[in-house]
Amino acid sequence: MPSTKDGTLVWKDGLAFEGTGASGLTVRFDSTAEEGGGTGFSPMELTLLSHAACMSMDVISILRKKRQDVTGIEVHTHGVRTDDYPRVFTDITVEFVVRGRNVDPQAVARSIELSETKYCSVGGMLNKSVNIKTVYRVEEESR
């Protein structure tokens, strides 16, 4: 049986909406500061972060299963969008910086590949229209 997710948004003021999801947590959305808002996340900003978070959770989860001694992960994501409406992302580049002790770069590469091709739900939707590229770097934990 397919599972479901529900969410609710309530209009606050201007273009700002407060969202509540299945977790019970709330998040504020707004237009950007340049557009006269700036009191919350823009929907495209959170979509970009959600995609990177989806991949990041897969990566750390798989690296732990592979018994890699990971001490830190930092992820940078960069989206390029069209100027024409609907101003979609055409390209997203996700950069993983994995820090740890003797972390095998092949394990990192494999965890990213599994996320891209099998596990990441957000990517599984976006990759139908967005060119998604992933790069990574492994850094040795000093002492």
Residues 87-116 contacting its own copies, CB under 8 A: 87-90
Residue 67 touches its own copies, criterion: CB under 8 A: no
Among the listed residues 103, 106, 112, 129, the single contact to its own copies using CB under 8 A: 129
Task: Give CA separation, 7 vs 13, 27, 31, 96, 105, in Å.
Answer: 19, 11, 19, 30, 38
Which of these ranges, 46-54, 104-112, 132-140, lies near its own copies under the rule CB under 8 A? 46-54
Among the listed residues 65, 66, 67, 75, the single contact to its own copies using CB under 8 A: 75
Among the listed residues 112, 130, 132, 138, the single contact to its own copies using CB under 8 A: 130
Among the listed residues 66, 110, 124, 136, the single contact to its own copies using CB under 8 A: 124
By beta-carbon proximity to its own copies, the closer residue of 109 and 124 is 124
Separation between Cα atoms, residue 92 and residue 13, nearest integer Å: 31
Angle between helices 105-114 and 43-65 (to 10 degrees): 130
Separation between Cα atoms, residue 107 and residue 68, nearest integer Å: 8
Contact 15, 31 (CB under 8 A): yes
Residue 136 touches its own copies, criterion: CB under 8 A: no
By beta-carbon proximity to its own copies, the closer residue of 34 and 142 is 34
Contacts of 142 (CB under 8 A, 6+ apart): none
